[in-house]
């Protein structure tokens, strides 16, 4: 994982909403224990990952919506000159 602005904004928004987040290494053998997965970047605040190799995720629209809402709660910031 690469730490980035979108990750920071989502983390802040989750904390403001009273929701937790955890950052830790995840190995391929850990994947079947997860309910879902998503990716984030500056163009897409959250996008569902449906599979990694042969491990599939059902997806959780409610969780994804919470992530997008956490991101959108953050105020816009002006660019410096």
pTM: 0.77
CA–CA separation, 80 vs 64, rounded Å? 31
Tens digits of residue pLDDT in 52-65: 999 999 888 999 99
Reply yes or no on whether the pLDDT at 17 is more than 80: yes
Residue 42 is classified by DSSP as: S
**Residue 13 · residue 19 · CB < 8 Å:** no
Q: Which residues pair with 69 in a beta bridge?
A: none
Tens digits of residue pLDDT in 32-51: 999 889 888 888 888 999 99
Q: What percent of the chain lies above the pLDDT cut of 70? A: 96
């Amino acid at each position: 994982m690469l730490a980035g602005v979108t990750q920071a904004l989502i983390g802040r928004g989750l904390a403001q909403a009273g929701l937790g987040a955890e950052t830790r290494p995840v190995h391929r053998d850990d994947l079947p224990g997860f309910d879902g997965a998503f990716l984030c970047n500056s163009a897409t605040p959250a996008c569902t990952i449906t599979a990694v190799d042969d491990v599939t995720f059902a997806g959780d629209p409610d969780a994804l919506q919470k992530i997008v809402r956490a991101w959108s709660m953050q105020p816009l910031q002006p660019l410096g000159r």
